[in-house]
Structure 1
Amino acid sequence: MFIGFILFILIISVSCEKDDICVDGDTPLLVLRFYDAADTSLLKSVTDLRITGIGNGDPVNTFTDRSTTDSVAIPLRVNFENTQFQLIINSDDSTDGTETGNIDTLQFNYINQEVFISRACGFIANFDGLEENLTADDDNWIDSIEIVDTLISSQLNAHVKIFH
């Protein structure tokens, strides 16, 4: 019995390796910060912000839907070279379920770069060459956009400034 226990402990200690636990394996999110268009150094919150991904129609789940905030982190699609979003200010549903907020459509283009992290984590995606394209309409609430960092390899700092 004692020999069986020692053999069991020996097998467990040999089969486990340091990188069997993944701690660094997340694809970074795109960080957007919202600024005042009149004074571009001041952060300015967006009221009742909703962001939906075009193609799936669901609100982005990386922040509280219809919240008032000056910063969000949103996911980019890893199997494509672009991701489109609807950014909706003053978002609300009417009685028939249609969106009553002001909708701006924004597309991000990028090059997907797979990065091997470890055996436990596998691969993550970084995004390089970030570009934006705001669809013009009669009532854009977004005044202008500035790409701060074209490489998305971390979500510690903002990548995009949106002025409104």
Structure 2
Amino acid sequence: MASCEKDDICVEGDTPLLVVGFFDDNAEDDNTAKNVENLGIIEIQGNLLLNTISSVDSIAFPLRSDTTRTSFQLIRNAQLNEEDGNTTITGEGNPVAFTYVVNRSFVSRACGFVANYNQLDTLRDVSDTDWIKRIDVVTSDIENSNMIHVKIFH
């Protein structure tokens, strides 16, 4: 007698990442991509380094689904420093907070719940010394990781 087991592999969906593109604030149009040299990202609530140091013109990272706000320190010209077994990161940092509404939906037994984010907005204190000049929300609904949701101009 043969029997089958239910397949518990999730292929139907996943919680999307926030996709941020970096653009040239001095360009004639808003679509000229510009690398951020040695970008480091720290999620402020958890002090978690989300990205190793690299030069990128876009990046995707997770938003917290257990709250309606996630704050990051975006660090340009970042350097990792190790001293006495502790790792610190230095460079030009700008804190940026993202606020949103979390919408959870049950996908399947294998996938569980997936969170989508709506009403995305940004909060930040602006200073003349910031390397980030402005932030534009391209789409306030995050339902996939296939497009840029936020443009950061520097």
Same fold (TM over 0.5): yes
- Partners of 1:80 and 1:141 in 2: how far apart? 28
Query: Which structure features the higher share of strand residues?
Result: 2
Q: Deviations over 1:68-125 (max 9, x none)?
A: 0000001000000000000000001468665431000000000000011112111110
Deviation >3 Å, runs of 4+: 93-100
Unaligned runs of 5+ in 2: none
* Amino acid in the other structure paired with 1:34: F
Residue type at the aligned position of 2:112? G
Q: Is the 8 A contact 1:25 1:122 kept in 2?
A: no
| Alignment partner of 1:79 is 2:66 | yes
Partner residue in 2 for 1:56:
46
Closer/same/farther in 2, CA of residues 21 and 99 from structure 1, 3 Å limit: closer
Map 1:116-135 onto structure 2 (within 5 A): 116-135=106-125
Question: Separation in 2 of the partners of 1:54 and 1:144?
Answer: 20
Quote how far apart the aligned CAs of 1:134 are: 1.9
Task: Show the counterpart of 1:26.
Answer: 14
Match among 89, 98, 101 for residue 108 of structure 1: 98
> 1:131 corresponds to which letter in structure 2?
D
May I ask how many residue pairs the two structures share in their alignment? 149
Which residue in 1 is equivalent to 2:24? Answer: 36
Q: Which moved more, 1:36-45 or 1:131-140?
A: 131-140
Please say which of residues 94-103 and 148-157 is displaced more in the overlay: 94-103
Q: Contact 1:32 / 1:162 at 8 angstroms: preserved in 2?
A: yes
Structure with the bigger percentage of helix: 1
Q: 1:102·1:139 contact (CA, 8 Å) conserved in 2?
A: no
Q: Which runs of 5+ in 1 are unaligned?
A: 1-6
Contact 1:131 1:147 in 2 (8 A): yes
Q: Does 1:149 align with 2:139?
A: yes
Residue type of the partner of 2:75?
I
* Alignment RMSD: 1.7
Q: Is the 8 A contact 1:25 1:123 kept in 2?
A: no
Cα offset for 1:58?
Answer: 1.8
